[in-house]
Amino acid sequence: MLKKIAFLFLFLSVVGCNSRSLTDRGLVTEKAMVVTAHPLASEVGAEILRRGGNAMDAAVAVQFALAVVYPDAGNIGGGGFLVLRQQDGSIDALDYRERAPAAAHRDMYLDKNGKVLENLSFKGHLAAGVPGTVDGMVQAHAKYGSLPWQELVQPAIELAANGFALTQKEAKKLNQQRKDFIKYNPVKPTFILRDKWHEGDTLYLKHLAQTLTRIRDKGRAGFYEGTTADMLVAEMKRGGGIISYEDLKAYQSVWRAPLTATLRDYKVITMPPPSSGGVALVQLLTLAEDYPLKIWGWNSLQAAHFMIEAERRVYADRAKHLGDPAYYKVPLQALLDSAYIKSRMKDFSESEATDSDAVSAGIPAPAESPNTTHYSIVDPQGNAVSVTTTLNSSFGAKVFVAGAGFLLNNEMNDFSIKPGYPNTYGLVGGEANAIAPGKRMLSSMTPTILEKEGELYMVVGSMGGSTIITTVYQIILNVTAHGHSMQGAINAGRFHHQWKPDWVLTEWGAVGGVTGLRLWLKGHKLVPKTGGIGRAAGILVLPDGKLEGGADPRGDDAAAGF
Ligand code: DON
């Protein structure tokens, strides 16, 4: 009883009214917009557009710039997903997700009794998947770029070589990671040269500048072969990792048909598997079609209750049915069938929360055939690119490739390392997402583009592990159902449910105190999430054709454009 009362107090102190405006506009520009997690990266992207580059050119330049100025998630040692809509309406998606090394196997993080070896998939050399970013950028540029490759990598080289000032948030994060950087790096990285970083300190990343120079001059071979590959493989040997020369050589990113769905006036263009994000987002938005969210109102008891219940069911499907389609027969068409999706709510009760143990994955009808960061870009021609890229958790595996100056991802933790065993985001899975050599681990990243009545309308995405999907979902509804501005939709407090664990993570201001109490009485276990849920970057096309950038106030995020 005492525990319940203490929890209620804690809860009431965290939920409250949202003080950030939901309707004030973010930066509004005439022609072009870049929104990223760091002002310097946004400026790099905007400058490429000013020079006449297109949205894909800017996306490539931003990816490399983020690897320098936002090393907790920006990367060349990780991977990501990119969704493109060209001004003529044609669409494409690039999967540059990491892959399990060839020496990986299903039980590699279990001891001989089948017990999970904590941390092995999360920190240190064995946690790293084969990086996909550099190949992804090379392919993106080859297919859609217009400026010379060298010009797109150069700004990142300059930032790394000439140094850049740390923001207060970045300095704090580097200090927090110091112990892990020491523990997991046999060779001392630049990031621990000082005992303590402060806002405004200049960070020079000389080795990273040299690696980026090799990438600038040799393209793919500057990373997957030669000096960089030698350094990466040597690092693996030093720290007990398993990525080999063959793994690096074999890495290929994949162009995929984007997942699309038409819902009311909107067409959603998003990422297919191996991301779960697109499938889950389409399921959530399809369910929302049948409920009067606009009438209920943002932040209302009914809307929050319905959304939580929809999320519970959608994440149950995610856990069972989704994985790398090259290794597991994902019942994609069946999962996206609107009759199937809607059938999932048949046991929905308006009065009380469903117990997650009573909700299992649905059985879709068989198909006929078988610390992440997001940036959004629109160029003056109207081409749009939506990219989510990651090392997985903040600073990935905490391992630097000595001499090459970049961090490795800890994406192996996104696999289901044992059936039903939760990963760092509490997500569970089974066969569909079991480890296999060369397989891509399931992701929640949801880079998305929306059309309204056939025209470009929104470019959006977020970081946040499992909360990415519900963050993107809420932002889209905030604009389309509740009329928030792009900035307001991103400012708004968020909540998140993922089936298991059976609780609702709740940001400050996501629901008012009274609504929170009434949700609690319906049986929803609200848990305050003080660190925030997700960090999004969005661009909205306004009725007069201007662009509104939405930069997330939870970070140093910034919009830039003209
Ligand atoms: O791909 C995924 O779903 C995760 N690796 C994303 C990680 C993430 O968003 C970290 N940020 N909090």
Note whether 99 and 135 are within 8 A (CB): no
Would you state the torsion angle of the CA atoms of residues 150, 156, 157, 162, taken in this order, to the nearest 10 degrees? 140
274 CA to middle of ligand 1, Å? 13
Note whether 410 and 122 are within 8 A (CB): yes
pLDDT on residue 15 = 47
pLDDT on residue 11 = 55
pLDDT on residue 512 = 83
Q: How many CB atoms lie within 10 A of CB 358?
A: 8
pTM, full prediction: 0.96
Whether 13 has a pLDDT exceeding 50, the answer reads no
How is the beta sheet containing 495-496 ordered, strand by strand? Answer: 495-496, 504-506, 526-528
If you average pLDDT over residues 251-274, what whole number do you get?
A: 97
Nearest atom, ligand 1, residue 414 CA: 5
Note whether 157 and 213 are within 8 A (CB): yes
Per-residue confidence band for 336, with pLDDT thresholds at 50, 70 and 90: very high
Nearest atom, ligand 1, residue 392 CA: 5
77 CA to middle of ligand 1, Å? 14
276 CA to middle of ligand 1, Å? 12
**193-219: per-residue pLDDT in tens?**
788 999 999 999 999 999 999 999 999
Note whether 37 and 372 are within 8 A (CB): no
What's the rounded Cα separation, in Å, for the pair 63 and 134? 9
Nearest atom, ligand 1, residue 534 CA: 12
Pocket test for ligand 1, best of 72, 372, 469 (most atoms within 8 A of CB): 372
Query: In degrees rounded to 5, what are phi and psi of residue 22?
Result: -100, -10
468 CA to middle of ligand 1, Å? 8
396 CA to middle of ligand 1, Å? 10
What's the rounded Cα separation, in Å, for the pair 363 and 442? 20
Pocket test for ligand 1, best of 425, 462, 466 (most atoms within 8 A of CB): 425
**393-414: per-residue pLDDT in tens?**
999 999 999 999 999 999 999 9
Note whether 551 and 38 are within 8 A (CB): no
What's the rounded Cα separation, in Å, for the pair 260 and 267? 7
Pocket test for ligand 1, best of 445, 446, 496 (most atoms within 8 A of CB): 445
Nearest atom, ligand 1, residue 444 CA: 3
pLDDT on residue 172 = 95
pLDDT on residue 357 = 86
Q: In whole angstroms, what separates CA 411 from the centre of its chain?
A: 12
* Residue with tokens 């060839």, as numbered in its chain: 102
Atom 12 (ligand 1) nearest CA? 464
Closest CA to 202 of 170, 240, 228, 154: 170
Q: How many CB atoms lie within 10 A of CB 166?
A: 19
352 CA to middle of ligand 1, Å? 31
pLDDT on residue 68 = 98
351 CA to middle of ligand 1, Å? 33
Atom 5 (ligand 1) nearest CA? 392
**357-388: per-residue pLDDT in tens?**
888 777 675 444 448 999 999 999 999 999 99
Give the largest Cα separation in the chain, rounded. Answer: 66
Whether 313 has a pLDDT exceeding 90, the answer reads yes
Query: In degrees rounded to 5, what are phi and psi of residue 297?
Result: 95, 150
If you average pLDDT over residues 112-133, what whole number do you get?
A: 96
Whether 26 has a pLDDT exceeding 70, the answer reads yes
Note whether 124 and 392 are within 8 A (CB): no
Atom 10 (ligand 1) nearest CA? 371
Q: Please state, in angstroms and as integers, the Cα–Cα distance from residue 179 to each residue in 188, 384, 398, following that order.
A: 12, 40, 10
146 CA to middle of ligand 1, Å? 30
Q: Strand 254-256 vs strand 91-96: parallel, antiparallel, or unpaired?
A: antiparallel
Q: Please state, in angstroms and as integers, the Cα–Cα distance from residue 127 to each residue in 174, 239, 360, 534, following that order.
A: 20, 11, 30, 23
What's the rounded Cα separation, in Å, for the pair 26 and 338? 35
* Residue with tokens 């470009």, as numbered in its chain: 456
Residue 544 burial class via C-beta count within 10 angstroms: exposed 0-12, middle 13-18, buried 19 and up: exposed
- DSSP conformation letters of 434-452: B--TTPBPPB----EEEEE
Helix axes 467-480, 301-321, angle to 10 degrees: 140
Where in the sequence numbering do the catalytic residues fall? Answer: 372
Whether 9 has a pLDDT exceeding 80, the answer reads no
Would you state the torsion angle of the CA atoms of residues 94, 98, 104, 105, taken in this order, to the nearest 10 degrees? -60
Per-residue confidence band for 19, with pLDDT thresholds at 50, 70 and 90: low
> How many CA atoms does the CB half-sphere of 289 hold within 13 Å?
17
Note whether 347 and 518 are within 8 A (CB): no
Whether 248 has a pLDDT exceeding 60, the answer reads yes
Calculate Rg over the CA atoms of the chain.
Answer: 22
Nearest atom, ligand 1, residue 466 CA: 3
Least confident of 17-31, 150-164, 284-298: 17-31
Whether 535 has a pLDDT exceeding 50, the answer reads yes
Nearest atom, ligand 1, residue 411 CA: 5
* Ligand 1 binding residues, C-beta < 6 A: 371-372, 390, 392-393, 411, 414, 443-445, 463-465, 468
What's the rounded Cα separation, in Å, for the pair 291 and 310? 11
Two tokens at 209? 């500048």
Note whether 313 and 370 are within 8 A (CB): no
> How many CA atoms does the CB half-sphere of 562 hold within 13 Å?
11
Atom 2 (ligand 1) nearest CA? 443
If you average pLDDT over residues 70-83, what whole number do you get?
A: 97
pLDDT on residue 191 = 85
Write the DSSP symbol of residue 412: G
- Give kind and range of the element (H or E) at residue 317: helix 301-321
Note whether 535 and 373 are within 8 A (CB): yes
Average pLDDT over all residues of the chain: 94
